[in-house]
Amino acid sequence: MDFAWSDQQRELLDAVGRFASQQLNYNVIENDRDGVFNHDAWKKCGSFGIQGLPVPTEYGGLGMDPLTTVAALERLGYACKDNGLLFSINAHLWTAVTPLVYNGSEAQKKKYLPGLCNGTLIGGNAMSEPNSGSDAFSLTTTAIKKGSKYILNGSKIFVTNGPVADLLVVFATTDKTRGPDGIAAFLVEKDSPGMNVARKLEKMGVRTSPMAEVFFENCEVPEENLLGKEGGGAWPPPSGRCKDCWRPASVMRTSANKAASRSANTS
Ligand SMILES: Cc1cc2nc3c(=O)[nH]c(=O)nc-3n(C[C@H](O)[C@H](O)[C@H](O)COP(=O)(O)OP(=O)(O)OC[C@H]3O[C@@H](n4cnc5c(N)ncnc54)[C@H](O)[C@@H]3O)c2cc1C
């Protein structure tokens, strides 16, 4: 079995590396110090196709398989010095875009995916709550059906991309008595009545990736924005761990190379 990259994969990885080193590495220190998200770099990534790497071409993506996607992201992480931008791309890709690809209706995919792929829209995911972290299924945000809408009430915390997001995948329970099976996901657009992206949270690292607390007070979400089905339970955010693996891997590769070249220069 041949495990080598194909010529096509190699070309993509080289192109990603060139793109990142030539176009993304400016104002990184200043932005990190001031906690500024680089909108311009985000748009450049969208134009290149980064945010749509694993998305089928009919929705505006590049249609790459999972291995090629992760390899391309690893190369991006190796060449791009803005760790916060990488973190935000990950959150967008694995906790908003991919759930939409796998669980979205045709109408939802057509409506949101092209913008999420080309850098026009920013996505995020709101599951954690002040009293619900690792034990995510204990979340208490409610979604009660009223006519053709769901009414959301509750609060979310640590929402990556929250301050800049156009679309959040929000988890809420439609029936507390059903535990995890009562949890459903909703596509909530920014500026939805009753949604308040309240406080930008300060961080010690990856500071260019903004994070917020989000409140829902009788927030109206149209029923067509239910992602997946009610009573389908809290499907695992697909490939969630993927988001946590390639970025440290690429940072480790950069560090190892720097250490090797330093040691070669001093010996
Ligand atoms: C940089 C960053 C970005 C994030 N982005 C998002 C986001 O976009 N959307 C979102 O919804 N959330 C996000 N989160 C929140 C993240 O998902 C939670 O921090 C995580 O689920 C852990 O929850 P917690 O912080 O409440 O810790 P806790 O659940 O309180 O856990 C604290 C510690 O206790 C341990 N622990 C917990 N339960 C047990 C147990 N039963 N037995 C033994 N040990 C246990 C844990 O392993 C951990 O070490 C983000 C967090 C960070 C740090």
21 with 82, same domain?
yes
Provide the pLDDT for residue 241.
44
19 with 44, same domain?
yes
209 with 133, same domain?
yes
Residue 92 lies in a domain: yes
Residue 246 has pLDDT above 60, yes or no: no
Residue 144 lies in a domain: yes
Provide the pLDDT for residue 199.
73
30 with 115, same domain?
yes
Instruction: Quick: pLDDT tens for 208-242.
Output: 999 999 999 999 999 999 999 887 655 555 444 44
- Domain count across the chain: 2
- CATH code, domain carrying 16: 1.10.540.10
More confident residue, 129 or 255: 129
pTM of the model: 0.91
Q: Say if ligand 1 is within 6 A of residue 134 CB.
A: yes
Residue 184 lies in a domain: yes
* Nearest residue by C-alpha to atom 49 in ligand 1: 134
Residue 246 lies in a domain: no
Residue 244 has pLDDT above 80, yes or no: no
Provide the pLDDT for residue 254.
65
Q: Which of 85, 105, 122 marks a domain boundary? A: 122
Q: Say if ligand 1 is within 6 A of residue 133 CB.
A: yes
Asked if 245 and 122 count as a contact pair (C-beta separation under 8 A), the reply is no
More confident residue, 200 or 227: 227
Q: Which of 88, 89, 125, 134 to mutate to test the pocket of ligand 1 (most atoms within 8 A of CB)?
A: 134
Q: Say if ligand 1 is within 6 A of residue 234 CB.
A: no
- Which band of pLDDT confidence, cut at 50, 70 and 90, is reported for residue 252? low
Token code pair at residue 228: 């997946």
Q: Which of 68, 96, 122 marks a domain boundary? A: 122
Provide the pLDDT for residue 1.
83
156 with 216, same domain?
yes
- CATH code, domain carrying 159: 2.40.110.10
Residue 254 lies in a domain: no
106 with 164, same domain?
no
38 with 99, same domain?
yes
Instruction: Quick: pLDDT tens for 146-177.
Output: 999 999 999 999 999 999 999 999 999 999 99
Using the mean position of ligand 1's atoms as its centre, give its distance from the Cα of residue 139 in Å.
13
Using the mean position of ligand 1's atoms as its centre, give its distance from the Cα of residue 167 in Å.
22
Using the mean position of ligand 1's atoms as its centre, give its distance from the Cα of residue 34 in Å.
25
* Nearest residue by C-alpha to atom 12 in ligand 1: 128
Q: Say if ligand 1 is within 6 A of residue 31 CB.
A: no
84 with 101, same domain?
yes
How far, in whole angstroms, is CA 24 from its chain's centroid?
Answer: 18
Residue 259 lies in a domain: no
Provide the pLDDT for residue 51.
98
Q: What is the Cα–Cα distance from 114 to 105, expressed in whole angstroms? A: 14
Provide the pLDDT for residue 140.
96
Provide the pLDDT for residue 147.
97
147 with 186, same domain?
yes
Ligand 1: nearest atom to the Cα of 156: 11
Structural domain span for residue 85: 9-122
More confident residue, 262 or 117: 117
Query: Mean of the per-residue pLDDT values for the chain?
Result: 91
More confident residue, 263 or 8: 8
51 with 68, same domain?
yes
35 with 78, same domain?
yes
Residue 257 lies in a domain: no
Residue 193 lies in a domain: yes
Q: Which of 122, 147, 175 marks a domain boundary? A: 122
Ligand 1: nearest atom to the Cα of 136: 21
Instruction: Quick: pLDDT tens for 105-132.
Output: 999 999 999 999 999 999 999 999 999 9
Ligand 1: nearest atom to the Cα of 134: 29
Residue 163: strand, helix, or coil: helix
Instruction: Quick: pLDDT tens for 5-26.
Output: 999 999 999 999 999 999 999 9
Provide the pLDDT for residue 209.
97
Provide the pLDDT for residue 200.
82
Q: Which residues pair with 173 in a beta bridge?
A: 142, 183
**Sequence-separated (6 or more) residues with CB below 8 Å from residue 108:** 100, 187, 224, 225, 227
Q: Say if ligand 1 is within 6 A of residue 128 CB.
A: yes
107 with 33, same domain?
yes
Asked if 41 and 82 count as a contact pair (C-beta separation under 8 A), the reply is yes
